[in-house]
Structure 1
Amino acid sequence: MTLEPLLDASLAIRLHVAVVLPAALLGAYQLMGPKGTRGHRLLGKIWLVLMVATAFSSFFIHSLNMFYGFGPIHLLSIYVLYASWQAYAAARRHDIAAHQRAVSGLYYGGIVGAGVFTLLPGRIMNAVVFTGHEILPLVILAVAALFLGWSAWRRRVGEDAR
């Protein structure tokens, strides 16, 4: 594992990583933590700002230049902007089910799903994580993703039973 590829990357990529990493951690905490509290609402607003910053920063990254500098991942960024607004609006009108759907889609699609694609060969994060042919980071990532999915599923099953 080495940070050199990331440190050598463009400012847009470094900014993107700088906002998506705390969004990933904070989002996991929010999904597993207590809901409806003052802290949840404050951290949720911070998380949405991080998600919007992540989406906006992606528009300055042109690694997958398929259409005038943009690629399929930029469609995900448009989705993130839309779903962020949906999550916020649903929370404001106290539509908890719509809020949960929007936030789950943002986290699992916008962070976990997109994060997996950053680990493909030839991508900067692949070089960061797998330099030296280490398999341990992949195992840790897989276990973390499974744990987060299992935790969210258990929480949802528990809430449905109430």
Structure 2
Amino acid sequence: MTYIQLAYLHLATVVPAFFLGTYILFIRKGTPKHKMLGKLYVSFMLATAFITLFMPAVVGPTILNHFGFIHLLSVLVFVTVPLAILAIRKGDVGAHKRHMLGMYVGALLIAGSLAMMLKDG
């Protein structure tokens, strides 16, 4: 798959994740709607993180001529999703909230901002 194809696939998962994540921030928590949208949101986030592993870093130092610092945000998603799920299953709403908010800020807002700043680069 070419870089352009991967970029479009990435956009097809990250844009819905951004809007879903933003919406979820403002709706009532713990409802069936919240749980269903949350599952969809983490599915988009995991797909996005997976896709980005195949996209080479285009700025900064790389490892194996492919991975860069931006890929750490993919790792953040792979670590945060299971932690958030485990937290809510244990009834630790606070930890669940921190994990989900951290993922939203780190993997969507920060990564998105960096990508926009560097796109013309």
TM above 0.5, yes or no, is yes
1:34 corresponding residue in structure 2: 28
Where do 5+ consecutive residues of structure 2 fail to align?
A: none
Q: Indicate yes or no: 2:114 matched with 1:117.
A: yes
Q: Indicate yes or no: 2:79 matched with 1:82.
A: yes
> In 2, distance between residues paired with 1:78 and 1:63?
14
**SS of equivalent to 1:94:** coil
**SS of equivalent to 2:62:** coil
1:103 corresponding residue in structure 2: 100
Structure 1 window deviating more from structure 2 (64-73 vs 93-102): it is 64-73
Shift of 1:93: 1.7
Q: Indicate yes or no: 2:90 matched with 1:93.
A: yes
| Higher RCO, Cα 8 Å, sep 6+ | 1
Q: Indicate yes or no: 2:67 matched with 1:66.
A: no
Report runs of 4+ in structure 1 exceeding 6 Å deviation: none
**TM-score between both structures, scaled by the size of structure 2:** 0.90
Structure 1 window deviating more from structure 2 (40-49 vs 60-69): it is 60-69
- Select which of 13, 30, 37 maps to 1:19: 13
> In 1, distance between residues paired with 2:28 and 2:108?
21
Same amino acid, percent of matched pairs: 37
Report the RMSD for the aligned CA atoms in angstroms: 1.7
The code of the aligned residue for 2:28 comes to: P
Which structure would you say has the larger Rg? 1
Shift of 1:9: 5.4
1:141 corresponding residue in structure 2: none
Where do 5+ consecutive residues of structure 1 fail to align?
A: 1-7, 128-162
**TM-score between both structures, scaled by the size of structure 1:** 0.68
Report how many residues are paired: 117
Query: Which digits, 9 at most, give the CA deviation of each residue in 1:92-142, with x for residues without a partner?
Result: 222100000000001011101111001124x2xx59xxxxxxxxxxxxxxx
Shift of 1:63: 3.5
1:132 corresponding residue in structure 2: none
Is contact 2:42-2:81 (8 Å) kept?
yes
Is contact 2:3-2:55 (8 Å) kept?
no
The code of the aligned residue for 1:31 comes to: L
The code of the aligned residue for 1:60 comes to: F
2:44 corresponding residue in structure 1: 50
> In 2, distance between residues paired with 1:96 and 1:42?
17
